[in-house]
């Protein structure tokens, strides 16, 4: 149908041309930008995801930069720590050399001063971007502080619910610091050191005792006539808690000798014979003693004899004494006078020497196992509260042997342990008011398994090592250097593990950024081959639409000419 009012063909052609032009604008925009989704109206879902991921990409890129800084910081700390380990090893070797007899310690000390100065220089220079893990400036001793944490950015994470979090690596500088302003670094002493616990740490207290006995020299031989005799008294198990029991007028004569030795000559020829005769006399008179012992004289030859208590008298003592020996022939055969060796009423005791004062810190504990007679072994604990309660103080300080004895007695109350001091000597024994028996029946005292928590405390700074002074022994210095070296090695291991963690995380972040780029590209990037082909197609459609519009307008013009002809 042809109308003079409406050119439907032209309208249709124009509409097609407008649509094609619009499509061409989009195609050209895609080609010029490289994106098929630029605005939310292009694809709301893809635009939202891509915009969020682009933002995350920026954040993760910042994490990558932070990991680079962290890697540099740990590299510097690791290098410094390795250098400190080498210096401590050299320091330790010098100390071993200083222990050699005749060595000039002043020269070695000069080398130690230089090594310490080198260590301090390394610590101070181990800084990156103004941060130094090996030198801290906490005003308090590190042992008195909580964690001294620093952080390194590790990751940026987005969760399913849209929440985001920045993850960090936490490093406690208390375990890494070599020198701290308030003390407590690896090269510095502990704030309250137990050290050797006043000499107690290495002590093994094990008291011993045995039955009362005495040894005498035999003054024979002698052949008893029918009228010869030796008479003597003997006191058994007399002691501080009992008078013992006395046997009087014990007699050795010819008949006794012959009966004891199974002979008829009446001759005591040796100390061995004297033992047998005395045992016969003791048995005949129910004397709780024996001459068959040999603590002093076993294997000593025939010129001696020995007597001892059997500790069966019922008295708590453990002793034996021969008194009032007389002979009808002027030879008491060694029974008269004092014995040449004598042990009576032995109460087990053991000692150690208190060495130097120490402080039981707020977190320190000393443990030891105690056995007193039938009681024990019992583990005893000494802590700050126990020290202060025993001494009426508030600082946990034990300054001398007498103070330490008070603490030990307080912590073992009720066990029957007695501790007495003489100067620096501390002697452990059982309380005789509870355990009055002496000798083999006496209550033994054993103090063993002495230990502490912490196991060891460093008592000096590296800079305080002085092999020319007597502040510490060379052995103590070596032990302290070995302790520093162990801590430095542990610190190096920790830093190394952080380095490895940063390396792994850096690789992960790098890969993550690549994958995010790829993921966003899949969502919004244009396929340029497809876009180019599309544009060419639209250009062809545009040309056809223009031609169609021209044709439609031509038809209308022809109709208009008809009207002009009239």
Task: Render pLDDT for 339-370 as a digit per residue (tens, 0 to 9).
Answer: 999 999 999 999 999 998 988 988 889 999 99
Q: Are 233 and 332 contacting, i.e. CB atoms less than 8 angstroms apart?
A: no
447 and 410 co-located in one domain: yes
**Residue 164 clears pLDDT 90, i.e. is over it:** no
What CATH number does residue 157 fall under?
A: 1.20.1330.10
% of the chain residues with pLDDT over 90: 56
- Model pLDDT, residue 221: 95
Using DSSP bridges, classify how beta strands 358-359 and 179-180 pair: parallel, antiparallel or unpaired: unpaired
In 3-state terms, what secondary structure has residue 39? coil
82 and 178 co-located in one domain: yes
- Model pLDDT, residue 165: 65
284 and 331 co-located in one domain: yes
Number of domains in the chain: 4
363 and 310 co-located in one domain: no
Give Cα 11 to chain centroid, integer Å.
93
What CATH number does residue 446 fall under?
A: 2.60.40
**Residue 224 clears pLDDT 80, i.e. is over it:** yes
% of the chain residues with pLDDT over 70: 77
- State mean pLDDT over 12-28: 62
**Residue 5 clears pLDDT 60, i.e. is over it:** no
Q: First-to-last CA distance in the chain?
A: 22
Three-state SS across 184-201? CCCCCCCCCCCCCHHHCC
pLDDT digit string, tens, across residues 289-308: 999 877 777 666 788 999 99
C-alpha to C-alpha distance for 353 and 511, rounded to whole angstroms: 67
* Domain end point (choices 435, 453, 471): 453
535: in domain: yes
**Residue 1 clears pLDDT 60, i.e. is over it:** no
Burial label, 24 (beta-carbon count in 10 A; 0-12, 13-18, 19+): middle
* Domain end point (choices 325, 343, 361): 343
- State mean pLDDT over 539-551: 65
255: in domain: yes
pLDDT digit string, tens, across residues 312-346: 999 999 999 999 999 999 999 999 999 999 999 99
In terms of residue numbers, what domain contains 298? 213-343
pLDDT digit string, tens, across residues 111-132: 999 999 999 999 999 998 889 9
217 and 333 co-located in one domain: yes
**Residue 245 clears pLDDT 60, i.e. is over it:** yes
Q: Are 252 and 277 contacting, i.e. CB atoms less than 8 angstroms apart?
A: yes
- State mean pLDDT over 17-21: 62
**Residue 31 clears pLDDT 80, i.e. is over it:** no
- Model pLDDT, residue 137: 93
In the structure, what pLDDT confidence band is assigned to residue 518 with cuts at 50, 70 and 90? Answer: low
- Model pLDDT, residue 370: 95
C-alpha to C-alpha distance for 370 and 410, rounded to whole angstroms: 13
Q: Are 339 and 214 contacting, i.e. CB atoms less than 8 angstroms apart?
A: yes
Length of the chain: 566
Task: Work out the mean pLDDT of the chain and round it to a whole number.
Answer: 84
Q: Which two tokens mark 417?
A: 């342990």
Among 556, 551, 564, 562, residue whose Cα is nearest residue 7:
556
Bigger pLDDT: 439 or 28?
A: 439
* Domain end point (choices 308, 343, 378): 343
- State mean pLDDT over 426-442: 95
- Model pLDDT, residue 408: 96
Bigger pLDDT: 522 or 365?
A: 365
Mean pLDDT lowest among 8-12, 230-234, 402-406: 8-12
Q: Are 397 and 485 contacting, i.e. CB atoms less than 8 angstroms apart?
A: no
In 3-state terms, what secondary structure has residue 317? coil
- Model pLDDT, residue 72: 86
339 and 377 co-located in one domain: no
324 and 399 co-located in one domain: no
39: in domain: no
155 and 75 co-located in one domain: yes
Among 502, 462, 487, residue whose Cα is nearest residue 175:
487
| Cis omega (within 30 of 0) for bond into 269 | no
Among 270, 310, 254, residue whose Cα is nearest residue 286:
310
56: in domain: no
Among 295, 300, 302, residue whose Cα is nearest residue 346:
295
């Amino acid at each position: 149908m042809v109308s003079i009012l409406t050119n439907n063909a032209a309208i249709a052609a124009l509409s097609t041309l407008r649509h094609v032009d619009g499509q061409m604008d989009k195609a050209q925009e895609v080609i010029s930008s490289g994106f098929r989704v630029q605005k939310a109206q292009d694809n709301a879902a893809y635009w939202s995801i891509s915009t969020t991921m682009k933002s995350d990409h920026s954040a993760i890129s910042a994490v990558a930069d932070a990991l680079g800084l962290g890697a540099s910081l740990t590299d510097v700390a690791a290098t410094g720590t390795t250098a400190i380990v080498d210096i401590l090893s050299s320091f330790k070797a010098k100390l071993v050399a200083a222990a050699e007899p005749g060595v000039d310690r002043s020269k070695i000390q000069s080398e130690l001063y230089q090594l310490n100065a080198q260590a301090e220089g390394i610590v101070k220079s181990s800084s990156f971007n103004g941060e130094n893990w090996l030198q801290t400036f906490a005003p308090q001793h590190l042992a008195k502080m909580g964690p001294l944490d620093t952080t390194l950015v590790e990751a940026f994470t987005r969760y399913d619910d849209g929440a985001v979090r920045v993850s960090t690596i936490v490093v406690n500088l208390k375990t890494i610091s070599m020198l701290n302003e308030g003390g407590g670094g690896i090269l510095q002493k502990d704030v309250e050191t137990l050290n050797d616990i006043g000499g107690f740490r290495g002590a093994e207290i094990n008291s011993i005792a045995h039955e009362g006995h005495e040894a005498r020299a035999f003054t024979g031989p002698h052949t008893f006539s029918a009228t010869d005799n030796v008479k003597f008294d003997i006191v058994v198990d007399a002691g501080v808690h009992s008078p013992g029991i006395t046997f009087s007028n014990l007699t050795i004569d010819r008949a006794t000798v012959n009966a004891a030795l199974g002979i008829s000559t009446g001759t005591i020829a040796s100390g061995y014979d004297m033992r047998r005769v005395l045992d016969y006399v003791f048995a005949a008179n129910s004397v709780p003693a024996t001459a068959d012992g040999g603590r002093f004289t076993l294997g000593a030859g025939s010129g001696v004899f020995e007597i001892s208590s059997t500790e069966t008298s019922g008295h708590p003592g453990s002793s034996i004494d021969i008194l009032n020996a007389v002979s009808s022939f002027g030879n008491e055969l060694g029974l008269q006078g004092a014995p040449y060796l004598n042990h009576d009423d032995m109460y087990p005791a053991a000692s150690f020497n208190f060495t130097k004062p120490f402080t039981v810190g707020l977190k320190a504990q000393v443990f030891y196992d105690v056995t007193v007679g039938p009681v024990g072994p019992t583990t005893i604990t000494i802590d700050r509260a126990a020290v202060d309660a025993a001494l009426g103080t508030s600082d946990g300080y034990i300054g001398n042997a007498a103070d330490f004895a008070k603490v030990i007695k307080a912590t073992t109350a009720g066990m029957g342990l007695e501790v007495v001091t003489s100067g620096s000597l501390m002697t452990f024994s059982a309380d005789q008011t509870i355990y009055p028996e002496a000798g083999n029946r006496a209550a033994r005292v054993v103090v063993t398994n002495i230990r502490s928590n912490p196991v060891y405390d460093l008592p000096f700074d590296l800079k305080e090592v002085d092999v020319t002074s007597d502040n510490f022994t060379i052995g103590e210095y070596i032990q302290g250097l070995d302790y520093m070296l162990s801590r430095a090695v542990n610190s190096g291991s920790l830093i190394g593990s952080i380095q490895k963690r940063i390396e792994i995380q850096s690789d992960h972040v790098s890969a993550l950024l690549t994958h995010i780029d790829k993921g966003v590209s899949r969502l919004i990037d244009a396929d340029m081959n497809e876009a180019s082909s599309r544009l060419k197609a639209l250009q062809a459609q545009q040309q056809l639409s223009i031609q169609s519009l021209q044709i439609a307008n031509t038809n209308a013009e022809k109709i208009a000419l008809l009207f002009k002809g009239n």
